[in-house]
Structure 1
Amino acid sequence: MGIFSRLFTIGKAETNAAIDKLEDPIKLTEQGIRDLKLDLDKSLQALAEVKAMAIRSKRDLNDHKATAQSYEQKAIMLLQRAEKGDLDPAEADRLATEALTRKEEATESAIRSEEEVQRFETNISQLDANVKKLKSSITRYENELRTLKARSRVSQATQKINKQMSGIDSSSTVSMLEKMKEKVAQQEAMAEAYGEIANESKSLDDEIDSALDEKSFKASSSLEALKAKMKNKEQ
């Protein structure tokens, strides 16, 4: 699967149940980004190599132009010397012809170098566009990966909570509360029963003392004694 096809698959991961079952979208995205970075490294290397060839072709172009110009100047100088009588005209013509031949060769080499420069410039433009596209894609997918990881953490936490909530049986909880109420009511009833048993187990003396209420009896006797004492003082 090509890198862009894999990344296209990642973009469809949310709606593609088969992909969700077969591959982890996060791991798939991470692998896609690693593949993109490898492609970026290769593209940068290729770009550097093509730029280096373009630089050499430009140098060759300048050298061939300079060589052609130099041979043309030499041919002119040879003819000038022949006109001044410093050089045999036939020899000057021969040498000038050779110089012009070398000039034509240099000119043809310059033309080829210029074509190479243009071709390299086109390649550089294409490679540079690919590098920029890869860098943009890497940045975009890294941002999407961060978002995907955050969403994954939230969904996992939500799934865990929902799973825990789904495991709670409301009917069993209500049943447990009813049992607790019944148990508490039973305990209260038992406490009341033991209280009644305690009252029933009082002795006869306890019942007599309770009936006479000794404290009230003593208080009444004291009150009568106090009244009698006050009456005697008045007399």
Structure 2
Amino acid sequence: MNIFKRLLKIGQAEIHAIVEKMEDPISLTEQGIEDMKAQLSETKEAYIIAKALVIKSENAIKDKEVAAQDFERKAHLILNKVKTNELSIERAEKLALEALELKSNLLLYVKSIESEVLIHKELVDEINNKIEVLKFNITNWEKELTSLKAKSRIISASEFANRQIANIDSNSTIDMLKKMKAKIEDENAVNEALNQIVQDKIDKDIDLALKEDSNSKIELLELKKRLGLE
């Protein structure tokens, strides 16, 4: 029973992973690019095999054509031996005919190979076109992936900023700024009070100096009167 539960959990985990990837365009694009690159690699291998087959078939055609020409040359040589009495006409004709038949068979084989070569060349062209399409798609998808990643970074940055703005009222930074503001206001109030105290003291000192100066003058006048100086 426990085994089945574990298998179920594993299956659920795999499903969740697939769903998460399906919901993530970046993961989907990356996977798509990897799939196309794998397909491109397989297609290139198929192209190499098909191209090699074409080259091999074309070389075989050349070899068979050379062999066919050689049999025709031998037929001529055999018939010439009749002129020199080296072979009887019957023997020469028989051997020449066999050589010409071999030539004919080789040429028939060449035609059959040529038909196959045409098919293989068409296949090579088709594979090559598919390679170019895959390259083009991979390039476009890689550009799309770059764009998606850039957009994702912008969206993430925007979401982070929005979150910060949404939480700004309850943020400790704001409380700290408020405390700093209150502290500055308190310091300003203290400075103003100190300035007022200093100003009051200065005013008192001036008044006292003026008062002392006035009393001295009065006393001086009275003394002069007593002495008859006025």
On the 8 A contact 2:21/2:28 being kept in 1, the answer is no
Moved more, 216-225 or 128-137: 216-225
CA RMSD of aligned residues (A): 3.0
Amino acid at match of 2:220: L
| Matched residue type, 1:78 | I
Aligned to 1:104: 104
1:227 matched to which residue of 2?
221
Decide whether the 8 Å contact of 1:76 with 1:96 is kept in 2.
yes
Instruction: Confirm or deny: 8 A CA contact 1:33 1:142 kept in the other structure.
Output: yes
Provide closer, same or farther for how the CA distance between residues 64 and 227 of structure 1 changes in structure 2, counting only shifts above 3 A: same
Is 1:36 paired with 2:30? no
Once residues 208 and 117 of structure 2 are traced to their aligned partners in structure 1, the CA distance between those partners, rounded to angstroms, is 132
Taking a change above 3 Å as real, the CA distance of residues 109 and 22 of structure 1, as seen in their structure-2 partners, is closer
Higher relative contact order (CA 8 A, sep 6+): 2
Equivalent positions of 1:173-192 (< 5 A) are none
Distance 1:160 1:72 in 2: 87
**CA positional deviation for 1:63:** 0.7
Query: Any conservation in 2 of the 1:65–1:107 contact (CA below 8 Å)?
Result: yes
Q: 1:223 to 1:159 in 2, by over 3 A?
A: same
TM-score under structure 2 length normalisation = 0.70
Shift of 1:24: 0.8
Q: Distance in 1 between matches of 2:49 and 2:148?
A: 37
From the superposition, tell whether residues 22 and 138 of structure 1 become closer, same or farther in structure 2 (CA, over 3 Å).
closer
State the 1:164 CA deviation.
Answer: 2.2
Q: Which residue of 1 aligns with 2:84?
A: 84
The aligned counterpart of 1:146 is: 146
* Paired residues of 2:75 and 2:99 also in contact (CA < 8 A): yes
Q: Percent identity?
A: 33
Q: CA distance change for structure 1 residues 114 and 227 in 2, over 3 Å: closer, same or farther?
A: same
> CA 1:117 to 1:22, structure 2 compared with 1: closer, same or farther past 3 Å?
closer
Task: For 2:137 and 2:143, locate their aligned partners in 1 and report how far apart those are by CA, in whole Å.
Answer: 10
Distance of 1:64 and 1:21 partners within structure 2:
58
Amino acid at match of 2:29: T
- Structure 2: which amino acid aligns with 1:120? H
SS in 2 for 1:147: helix
Structure 1 residue 119: Cα displacement: 1.1
| 1:226 to partner: Cα distance | 2.5
Residue 195 of structure 1 corresponds to: none
Q: Distance in 2 between matches of 1:34 and 1:40?
A: 10
TM-score under structure 1 normalisation?
0.69
Partner deviation per Cα, 1:14-46 (whole Å, 9 max, x = no partner): xxxxx8994211011001100000000001000
Residue 156 of structure 1 aligns with which residue?
156
Preserved CA contact (<8 Å) 2:68 2:103: yes
